[in-house]
Amino acid sequence: MIGADLEPVVVVFLYGLITALATGLGALPFLFLKQISPAGIAYSNAIASGLMLGACFGLVSQGTRYGSTQTVAGGVMGVLFILATQRWLGRHELEFGQARGVGARRMLLMVIVMTVHSFSEGVAIGSSFAGGVTFASVITIAIAVHNIPEGLAISAVMQPRGSSVPTCAAWSVFSSLPQPLMAVPAYLFVDAFTPALPYGIGFAAGAMFYMVFVELLPEAYEQAPRPLVSFVTSMALIAMLLFQRFL
Helices (H), the chain: 8-23, 38-66, 68-90, 101-128, 133-158, 165-175, 178-188, 190-193, 197-211, 217-223, 226-246
Say whether pTM exceeds 0.95: no
> How many Å is the Cα radius of gyration of the chain?
18
Low-confidence stretches of the chain (pLDDT < 50) are 1-4
Cα-flanking dihedrals φ and ψ of residue 237, to 5°?
A: -60, -50
Residue 92's pLDDT is what?
64
CA 83 to chain CA mean position, Å? 18
Cα distance between residue 158 and residue 160, in whole Å:
6
Residue 90's pLDDT is what?
67
Cα-flanking dihedrals φ and ψ of residue 100, to 5°?
A: -135, 155
Residue 221's pLDDT is what?
92
- H or E element: which one contains 99? strand 99-100
Residue 3's pLDDT is what?
47
Cα distance between residue 84 and residue 7, in whole Å:
41
Residue 84's pLDDT is what?
86
Residue 96's pLDDT is what?
66
Which residue type is seen at 33?
Answer: L
Residue 94's pLDDT is what?
67
Residue 36's pLDDT is what?
66
